[in-house]
Amino acid sequence: MQRTKTGPVPSLKPPKAARRYSAGMRRMAWCGLALMAMCIASAPGALAAPPERPRETVLKLVTQIQKADYQGDRAALQHLYAYLEPLIADEKLASRVRYWRGFALWRRAINGFNESADPKDLEHDLTQAIAEFKESAAKDPAFVDAKVGTISCLGSLIYLALGHADRVQELIAQSSPLVKELRTSSPDNPRFVWVLGPILWNLPPERGGGQDKAIENYQKGLEAARKAKDTPVDPLDPSWGEPELLMSLAWSSLNRASPDLDAADQYAHSALALVPYWHYVRDILLPQIQTAKAAKPQTSSVFLCFLASLLRYLA
C-alpha cells in the first residue's frame, strides 16, 4: 500500500514580524490607557475626594474658583463651572453647588469686561449665571447670596442693553423687587452692600444715590465684613466681600468728581494685602491710580514756590 506523502503541518505560531506587531499594539494600548488615567487624575476637575465625600470635593473646587476669579483666569472659571455639574445631584449640596457654578460664570463675565470680551459672550455667561442663582435660591429660599448674585448679573445685563429701552426696562423690572427685598431683609450683608454700590453711584442724589452715598455705603459694608470675620460660617457659604469692598472704595476714590488719590492708593494696597495676586487691582486699577497721582500738580510744591517768591518780593 502506497503511503501518501503529506506536506509539513503549518505552525500555529504567527511569524516573528506579526508577533512583534501584536506585542507593539498591546504596549500601545496599555500606554494609551495609562495616559488616559493620568489625564483624568491630573484634570483640575477630577474628584479630589472619594465619591462618598462630595462635600470635600466641592470645597476644593470652590477654592479654585475664587482663586481663578482674582487671577482673572476666565478659561479656568469656565472649566470649574463644568466640573461642578456632577455634584448637582447631591440634594444636600445642590443649593451651594448651584451658587458656586453661578459665581464662576458671574466672575468670568466681570473679568471679561476688563478684557473687552465679546458682549455676546458676556451676555451668555451672565444669563446662565442667573439661571444657576435662581436654581440655588429655589433649593434654599432663605439663601440671600443667590439673590445678591442675580442682582449684580442683571445690573451688568442692563449695562450691555443700554440703547435698547425695552430690554433695559425688562431687566429693571426683574432687578428692582430683589433690591427692595434685600434692602429690607439683609441691609448689612457685605456682599449685597457691594452689589448695591454701583446702583447708588449711578442714582442721582434726589433719589437717594450719588457718589458720596455710594462711598458711604461701601464703608458701611467694609465695617460689616470685618465684623463678620468673627462669626463662624459653613465653608460652603460665601464669606467674600472685604477685598471687593476695598477695591470699590479705591475705584470710587479715584473716579469721584473730586478724586482722593491718597485714599484710592491706600484702599488698593489694602485689597492687595488680602489678595496679593488680584489681577485687576494689581495690574489695572493700581497703575491707573499711580498715573493719576503722577499727573496731579503737587499743591505743596506750588505753595512753597509761591511763598518763596513772595518772600523775595517783600525782601
Q: Which helix (H) or strand (E) holds 265?
A: helix 261-274
Residue 37 clears pLDDT 50, i.e. is over it? no
Confidence of residue 135 (pLDDT cuts 50, 70, 90): very high
- Helices 242-255/211-228 angle, 10° precision: 160
Local structure of residue 28 (DSSP, 8 states): H
Of 86, 77, 65, 165, which is closest to residue 121 (Cα–Cα)?
77
Cβ contacts of 49-58, under 8 Å, gap ≥ 24: 54/87, 54/90, 54/93, 55/93, 55/236, 57/87, 58/84, 58/87, 58/93, 58/96, 58/97, 58/100, 58/236
- Summarize pLDDT for 93-102 with one digit per residue, the tens: 999 999 999 9
Model confidence at 7, pLDDT cuts 50, 70, 90, reads: very low
State the Cα–Cα distance between residues 224 and 187, nearest whole angstrom.
Answer: 10
Reduce the DSSP state of residue 181 to 3 states and report it: helix
CA-closest candidate to residue 193, choices 147, 231, 224:
224
Mean pLDDT of the chain, nearest integer: 85
Please check whether residue 217 is in contact with residue 204, taking contact to mean a CB–CB distance below 8 angstroms: no
Tell me what the mean pLDDT of segment 188-213 comes to.
96
- Give yes or no for residue 293 having a pLDDT over 80: yes
Least Cα distance to 100 among 62, 71, 131, 128 occurs for 62
* Residue 40 binned pLDDT confidence (cut-offs 50, 70, 90): very low
For a pLDDT cut of 90, what percent of the chain falls above it? 75
Q: Which three cell numbers stand for residue 200?
A: 447708588
Residue 21 has pLDDT above 50, yes or no: no
Q: Span 250-267, mean pLDDT? A: 98
Average pLDDT over residues 168-179: 97
pLDDT of residue 161: 97
Task: Output the pLDDT for position 138.
Answer: 98
Q: Which residues contact 135 (CB under 8 A, 6 or more apart)?
A: 94, 98
When pLDDT is cut at 50, 70 and 90, the band that residue 262 belongs to is very high
Across the range 285-290, mean pLDDT stands at 98
pLDDT of 275 strictly over 60: yes
Which residue ranges make up each domain of the chain?
54-186
Q: How much is the CA Rg of the chain, to the nearest whole Å?
A: 30
Whole-angstrom Cα distance, residue 81 to residue 101? 5
Encoded amino acid at 193, one letter: V
The share of the chain scoring above pLDDT 70, in percent, equals 77
Write down the pLDDT at residue 71: 98
Mean of the pLDDT values across residues 104-109? 98
| Per-residue pLDDT, 233 | 87
Q: Dump pLDDT digits (tens) for 204-241.
A: 999 999 999 999 999 999 999 999 988 888 999 999 99
Q: What is the mean pLDDT of residues 122-130?
A: 98
pLDDT grade, residue 39 (50/70/90)?
A: very low
pLDDT of residue 16: 53
Task: Give 39 or 51, the one with higher predicted confidence.
Answer: 51
Cα 59 to chain centroid distance, Å, stands at: 16
Decide yes or no: CATH 1.25.40 for domain 54-186.
yes
User: 184 vs 229, which has greater pLDDT?
Assistant: 184
Task: Write out the H or E segment, with its range, that includes residue 266.
Answer: helix 261-274
Going by pLDDT thresholds of 50, 70 and 90, the confidence category of residue 52 is low
